[in-house]
Amino acid sequence: MQYDEIMVRYGELSTKGRNQKNFIDRLGANVTKALHGFDQVKIHPQRDRMHIDLNGADSSQVMDRLKQVFGIQTFSPSLRVESDFEAVKQAAAKMIREQVKEPATFKISTRHADHGFPMGTFEMNRELGAYLLKEFPDLLTVDVHHPDIDLMVEIRKSGIYLTSEKIKGAGGLPVGTAGKGMMMLSGGIDSPVAAYLAMKRGVSLEMVHFYSPPYTSEQALAKSKELTSKLAKYCGSIKFIQVPFTEIQETVKEKIPEGYLMTVQRRLMLRLAAALAMKRHGLAIFNGESLGQVASQTMESMVAINDVTTWPVLRPVLSFDKTEIIKIAEEIDTYELSILPYEDCCTVFTPPSPKTKPNLKRARAYEARLDVEGLMQRALENIKVTEIHAGDEFLNQNQDVFAELL
Ligand SMILES: Nc1ncnc2c1ncn2[C@@H]1O[C@H](COP(=O)(O)OP(=O)(O)OP(=O)(O)O)[C@@H](O)[C@H]1O
Determine if residue 169 is labeled as part of a ligand binding site.
Answer: no
- Is it true that domain 5-168 has CATH number 3.30.2130.30? yes
Distance 65 CA to ligand 1 centre (A): 29
Is the predicted pLDDT of residue 231 greater than 90, yes or no? yes
| Shortest-distance atom of ligand 1 to CA 184 | 5
**In the chain, what percentage of residues exceed pLDDT 90?**
82
Residue 306 has pLDDT above 50, yes or no: yes
3-state secondary structure of 309: coil
Model confidence at 220: pLDDT above 80: yes
pLDDT at 398: 53
Q: Which residue minimizes the CA distance to atom 23 of ligand 1?
A: 190
Whether 298 lines ligand 1, by a CB cut-off of 6 Å, is no
Helix (H) or strand (E) segment spanning residue 239: strand 237-244
185 annotated among ligand-binding-site residues: yes
Residue 346 Cα to ligand 1 midpoint, Å, equals: 8
Is residue 189 in contact with ligand 1, taking CB distance under 6 Å? yes
Pocket test for ligand 1, best of 182, 183, 189, 191 (most atoms within 8 A of CB): 191
Task: Tell whether ligand 1 has an atom less than 6 A from the beta carbon of residue 276.
Answer: no
Give residue 347's pLDDT. 66
Mean pLDDT of all residues in the chain?
A: 92
Task: Point out the ligand 1 atom lying closest to the alpha carbon of residue 211.
Answer: 1
Of 58, 48, 50, 6, nearest to 29 (Cα)? 50
pLDDT on residue 348: 62
Domain boundaries for CATH 3.30.2130.30 within the chain: 5-168
The closest residue, in CA terms, to atom 6 on ligand 1 is 186
pTM: 0.89
Closest residue by Cα to residue 176 from 148, 216, 138, 204: 204
Kindly give the number of the ligand 1 atom that is closest to the alpha carbon of 346: 8
Give the pLDDT band (50/70/90) at residue 74: very high
Q: Is 325 in the pocket of ligand 1 (CB under 6 A)?
A: no
Give CA–CA dist 406/395, Å, rounded.
13
Residue nearest atom 7 of ligand 1, based on CA coordinates: 186
| Range with lowest mean pLDDT among 84-88, 138-142, 348-352 | 348-352
Q: What angle do CA 315, 285, 272 make, to 5 degrees?
A: 130
Q: What is the distance in A from the centroid of ligand 1 to the CA of 5?
A: 43
3-state helix vs strand vs coil in the chain, percent to 5: 45, 20, 35
23 assigned ligand-binding residue: no
| Ligand 1 site, residue 184, Cβ cutoff 6 A | yes
Confidence band of 406 (pLDDT split at 50, 70, 90) = very low
Distance 191 CA to ligand 1 centre (A): 6
Q: Would you state the pLDDT for residue 346?
A: 66
Contact present, 245 and 319 (Cβ < 8 Å): no
210 annotated among ligand-binding-site residues: yes
Would the CB of 288 count as within 6 Å of ligand 1? yes
CA distances from 140 to 79, 86, 107, 216 (A): 20, 20, 10, 64
Please provide the DSSP assignment of 13-45 as one string: GGG-GGGHHHHHHHHHHHHHHHTTT-TT-EEEE
Q: What is the mean pLDDT of residues 196-216?
A: 96
What is the C-alpha separation between 406 and 399, in angstroms, rounded? 11
- pLDDT tens digits, residue range 166-189? 999 999 999 999 999 999 999 999
Q: Is 190 in the pocket of ligand 1 (CB under 6 A)?
A: yes
User: How far does the centroid of ligand 1 lie from the alpha carbon of residue 395, in Å?
Assistant: 20
Is-contact 382 272, C-beta < 8 A? Answer: no
CATH fold of 180-403, please? Rossmann fold (3.40.50)
Residue type, 5: E
> In which residue ranges of the chain is CATH 3.40.50.620 found?
180-403
* Residues 6-20 pLDDT 10s: 999 986 665 556 688
